[in-house]
Amino acid sequence: MQEEIMDKIIQAYCNSIKQHCPKITDEAFDFWKKGLDITQLKPKEVYIEADAFQKKIGYVHSGLLRAFYRDGQCNDITVNFIAEKNYATYCTSLDQPKPSKYWFQCIEPTIIINVSYSHIHDCSDKFPEMEHYFRIVIETVHRNILSRMEGFLFDNAETRYMNFLNTYRNLYNRISLSDLSSYLGIERQSLTRIRKKLANQSFDTYVSGKARN
């Protein structure tokens, strides 16, 4: 990748951070940029392997990944989709990283900006506003985990599908029905019936096209 393109990607990343935390100074960003590098991955390539310690946290500049684990029958169970402007990470704490329970695999060609935990700590020590930003990141990860957990506890299959359409409308045409049914905890045949039912009720009319087969 050309250096000019890399600089533009990193600058776009810093701009997105600035939107969340406007008080971050140029000095902090200059220090922050020194610890960044970029990874390019093809579809089906793995960014994080299960049981591996994640030494870096990855910001998705472009592309799409899915996080999944394998059950006792060696079936892939999708637990999350990570698209642009989100972090691909098993990070549950900035202080005590743990081995990932999931694989993170690319669905599309993906560009990821990496930053090591050690650099996050160094930057947070020097610039408290950067620590504040990553506390927001961790809270977002926890909130998404809780939302999905509560969906399984309190919502039926149809409601989970409707909530997915409302929350992740931009992903609808980018993921397969198999991955979507796995994520929602619904048999593929049941998901097909739900989609047909809602289509007849015109619920899906605002979604262009169909999910990939």
Examine residue 213 and state whether it is found in any structural domain, yes or no: no
Query: 212 in a domain, yes or no?
Result: no
**Greatest distance between any 2 Cα atoms in the chain:** 57
pLDDT at 199: 79
Cα–Cα distance measured from residue 158 to residue 135, given in angstroms and rounded to the nearest whole number: 33
Q: What separation in angstroms does the CA of 181 have from each of 99, 165, 185, 198, 212? A: 26, 13, 6, 16, 12
Whether residue 211 is contained in a domain is answered as no
Does pLDDT of 152 surpass 80?
Answer: yes
Q: Which residue has the tokens 């593929």?
A: 188
Instruction: State the residue range of the domain holding 189.
Output: 155-206
Residues 99, 181 share a domain: no
Q: Is residue 80 domain-shared with residue 115, that is, in the same domain?
A: yes
pLDDT of res. 37: 95
Do 142 and 163 have their domain in common?
Answer: no
* CB-CB neighbours of 157 under 10 Å: 16
Across all residues in the chain, what is the average pLDDT? 88
Q: Number of folded domains in the chain?
A: 2
C-alpha to C-alpha distance for 87 and 81, rounded to whole angstroms: 10
pLDDT bucket at 149, cuts 50 / 70 / 90: confident
Higher-confidence residue of 50 and 138: namely 50
7 and 25 together in one domain: yes
What distance in Å separates the CA atoms of residue 108 and residue 142, rounded to the nearest whole number? Answer: 25
User: Considering only 57-66, 84-93, 154-163, which range has the smallest mean pLDDT?
Assistant: 84-93
Q: How far is Cα 13 from Cα 33, in angstroms, rounded to an integer?
A: 10
In Å, what is the CA distance from 113 to each residue of 9, 38, 64, 129, 188? Answer: 8, 5, 13, 20, 34
